Amino acid sequence: MPSGALPRRVVLDASVVAAWSFHEDDTEEARKVQAALESGQLTGLAPSLMWAELQQICRRKWNVFRVAREAVEASYEASLLAGLTEVSGGLTRFRAEAWKWVKALNVGSYDAYYLALALSLELDVWTFDRSFRDAALKDPRTAGRVSVPGEDVFP
């Protein structure tokens, strides 16, 4: 995807959803993505796996960063409003493919599943995890397929 050109469909990882669900440095950029979803300009795919990762993030917000638990839970529940297109994403279907990317790129398993789903649909992944983007750059099969909104793409 050439820099600056917006795709019609992308896979969104949990960091993007977390950025508009909680007050983080990337919240304003995430809201631009959300606005594109709400307007129908962009279809943002989220595999069901994302809910598990988002729950982990919630735990981290209240355990590590001491954000009020009620506030975190309210935002988690509200994330259903985000305009995402939830797809099954295939925990079983992508088991081998995700494992391949864990080993090849040394990325986390969640990231590997997002990547496997995106590649199967010939789509890109959007994330605020710069280390995930940078890891993908190291392999010609994944280089340029993982982008950070506001840095690599501008919704």
What does the binding site for another protein look like in residue numbers (CB under 8 A)? Answer: 8-9, 13, 15, 18-27, 31, 38, 40, 43, 45, 48, 53, 56-57, 60-61, 65, 67, 71, 74-75, 78, 81, 85-90, 107-111, 117, 121, 127-132
Minimum Å gap between C-beta 152 and another protein is 14
Q: Which two tokens stand for residue 91?
A: 């925990």
Minimum Å gap between C-beta 33 and another protein is 14
Whole-angstrom Cα distance, residue 141 to residue 52?
Answer: 27
CB closer to another protein out of 4 and 70 = 70
CB closer to another protein out of 60 and 141 = 60
Angle between helices 49-63 and 109-120 (to 10 degrees): 150
Identify whether the C-beta of residue 127 lies closer than 8 Å to the C-beta of residue 15: yes
Could you give the maximum distance between any two Cα atoms of the chain, in Å?
Answer: 44
Minimum Å gap between C-beta 1 and another protein is 17
- Residue 132, classed as helix, strand or coil, is helix
Minimum Å gap between C-beta 84 and another protein is 10
Whole-angstrom Cα distance, residue 65 to residue 134?
Answer: 26
Cα separation of the two ends of the chain: 13
